Structure 1
Amino acid sequence: MKQRIFTFLVLALAGLTACKKNDNNLPDIQQYDDQQIQAYISANALTGFTKDQTLIGDGATGLYYKLISPATPGSGPDSLKYQDQVSVVYTLKSMDGKYVSTDTIANHYNGFLGYMTSVNTTTGFYFPVGAQLAVHNLLKYPGANIQVLIPSRLAYGVRGYGVGSITASGRIAGNQSLDMYVHVIKDQAAYDDQVIKNYFTANNLTGYTKDPLGFYYKVVTQGSGSVGEITQYSNVSATYVGSLLNGTNFDQSSQTTATTLTPYSLIDGFKTAILKYGSTGTSLSLFIPSALGYGTAQQSAGIPANSVLHFEVQIASVTQP
């Protein structure tokens, strides 16, 4: 009889424990994240968001999303698979406002969708798993873009991201949900061309001509030499500045000191421009799409994958080998 009473008490206590949320009756992490996101939506007067009900290991994802420009299924490639290579432009903000990374010129990714959460060995950045889920499950097709509110458990968790104290501007604190914009590019050439045109409009730049190869050029100063004197193997003494469209110079070493260039060794856009339009004394301004620059490869000089490049070039002299 005593044994039966003891067993009953143990089972009763176990049942009471299972019904209790936690010792302090506080919300669990899913509830905490949802409250954080709801407060963010309210504080920023966001509209048009849907809560994702896709199930993962511990329940629904808890993502909130808004398709800004959805792609039309059937009008292009099949829906995105994890083994597909994608070109992504993104922005990222923590909901406490302490981390903001909204430079779409710098924020590029090119690689397999399934590797988005892998650490970039150059920058140390990696996408939160919530972003990868949003692209795969919600955005689905290249050519579309999405704003997604990512709960902390699918972001950088309790540890956060970055180094330094939790008050550092370059750090995402633990248990911070995120506001992320993601655009998966369908046609990189068309995207680059539009980026260049937008830059011209924003900066009131005129007088540029689009070469049939795809880059834009402007002869700022007509040279004293003859166009055509530069060949693939000419020695071209020039000063130049290379920059991204956010103003970041990736090659500053040649701003004042002339460097000898040989066209055959240059990126396609730069090479073709000086062969077709350059001569002794010519100054050129160039805007080069990524396919005629460094393409999908991220460069150690701080050039992200699929970057449009801007060059200002002054040709001092041309000699033949």
Structure 2
Amino acid sequence: MKQTLYTLVVFCAFGLLSCRKNSGDFTIKQYDEDKIKTYINNNNLSAVMKRDTSGGDTTGIYYQIITPAPVTATPIAYSDRVSFVYTVKSFDGSYSSTDTIFNHTYTYSAYVTPDGLQLAIKSIAKYKGTKIRVLIPSRLAYGINGTTLSGYNTSGTVVYSIIGGNQCLDYTITILDDTKQAAYDDLSIQKYMAANGLTGQYQKTASGSYYREIQVGTGTDVIGMNSTVGVQYTGTLFNGTIAEQANTTDGSAAYTFTLWDERPAWQDVLPHVKAGSKLSIITPSSQSYGQSTYSGSTVTIPAFSCLRYDINVISVSN
């Protein structure tokens, strides 16, 4: 009798624990759902936000298609590399990252994190060229523990920000079309020049770089691909962050190179000037580091970054 009673107690306890687990799973889903619905109402998004129904309406993600992709676009596969820019903020407002210069990612679709962002790109955006806004439940973001993320400020200093536990996230994501990267870069350059009062001051080269000679050089040697050139320079991202630099205080060259071994934009522009020149070059991503990230002297330069270089040509030898 005692053994039967003991067995019954064990089964009852197991049943209660199982119910508690299921209830817990339901609770976090309901918690996220309530948070998202409240957020939608508070931000007047009811008319534009739809619930994601891919996968049997199980994700809990809400979304808005801001810019649809062309109907002829090929769906994104998990094996595809995708380039995208984004902004993100937590529902409680304590975390916000709106710098689309640093928030520019190029990676395989299957490696995108957090999980909710990966699902949104694969199942909601679906195609390159799409722009979407998505509200991601906390269980598909950083969960109960939250996370600490690192980034840079405009002086290049690493800063750390915290996304709290059980925080749903509001993302706006633009999936860039690889075939239109050059057009996207040129549009970014035009916006940068307009914002900084530089429109009409630069000449455009055939490869898409822009340059302006601020001080005409007095040297006699023509710069060619085999020339050895000594410069001082500063490379800046479009958000004003110094990404790389080599300068001296005594006027001597801080960086010496053979032109054929340099960035395409420098190869394109430097033959137009001589020693003593001070110039500015604004480069599309293809004429700087392209799809590669690069650890500059100050920060890590994201993939597909346009850059501005301010260069003093100190010496030229052939």
TM-score above 0.5: yes
Q: Is the 8 A contact 2:148 2:160 kept in 1?
A: no
**Cα deviations by residue, 1:70-97 (Å, 9 ceiling, x for unpaired):** 11222x3x11111111111111111111
Please name the residue that 1:132 is paired with. Answer: 118
Deviation at residue 181 of structure 1 after TM alignment: 1.2
Q: Distance in 1 between the 2:19 and 2:145 partners? A: 28
Q: Distance in 2 between the 1:105 and 1:20 partners? A: 43
Letter in 2 for 1:245: F
Deviation at residue 241 of structure 1 after TM alignment: 0.6
Cα root mean square deviation, aligned = 2.8
Letter in 1 for 2:31: Y
Q: Distance in 1 between the 2:70 and 2:216 partners? A: 48
**Cα deviations by residue, 1:157-201 (Å, 9 ceiling, x for unpaired):** 11211179xxx9701111100001111111211111111111111
Please name the residue that 1:177 is paired with. Answer: 168
Q: Structure 1 residues 87 and 194, CA, compared in 2 at 3 Å: closer, same or farther?
A: same
Deviation at residue 22 of structure 1 after TM alignment: 4.8
Letter in 2 for 1:311: Y
Deviation at residue 140 of structure 1 after TM alignment: 0.9
The structure carrying a bigger strand percent of its residues is 2
Q: Is the 8 A contact 2:70 2:129 kept in 1?
A: no
**Cα deviations by residue, 1:124-179 (Å, 9 ceiling, x for unpaired):** xxx21111111111111111111100000111111211179xxx970111110000
Q: Distance in 2 between the 1:282 and 1:288 partners? A: 18
Secondary structure, aligned partner of 1:37: helix
TM-score normalised per structure 2: 0.83
Q: Which of these residues, 91, 100, 104, is aligned with residue 108 of structure 1?
A: 104
Please name the residue that 1:249 is paired with. Answer: 242
Q: Distance in 2 between the 1:92 and 1:150 partners? A: 10
Please name the residue that 1:121 is paired with. Answer: none
Q: Which of these residues, 84, 88, 91, is aligned with residue 87 of structure 2?
A: 91
In structure 1, stretches of 5+ residues that fail to align are 117-126
**Cα deviations by residue, 1:236-280 (Å, 9 ceiling, x for unpaired):** 2221111111111122332645222321221111222112x1211
TM-score normalised per structure 1: 0.83
Q: 204-213 or 253-262: which moved more?
A: 253-262
Q: Is the 8 A contact 2:232 2:246 kept in 1?
A: no
Deviation at residue 44 of structure 1 after TM alignment: 2.4
Q: Distance in 2 between the 1:243 and 1:96 partners? A: 33
Deviating above 4 A after TM superposition, structure 1's stretches of 4 or more consecutive aligned residues are: 17-23
Q: Which of these residues, 141, 150, 174, is aligned with residue 155 of structure 1?
A: 141
Letter in 2 for 1:136: K
The structure carrying a bigger helix percent of its residues is 2
Please name the residue that 1:52 is paired with. Answer: 52
Equivalent positions of 1:1-321 (< 5 A) are 22=23, 28-46=27-45, 47-55=47-55, 60-74=58-72, 76=73, 78-116=74-112, 127-162=113-148, 170-186=161-177, 187-206=180-199, 207-226=201-220, 229-254=222-247, 256=249, 258-259=253-254, 260-275=256-271, 277-301=272-296, 302-320=300-318
Deviation at residue 27 of structure 1 after TM alignment: 6.7
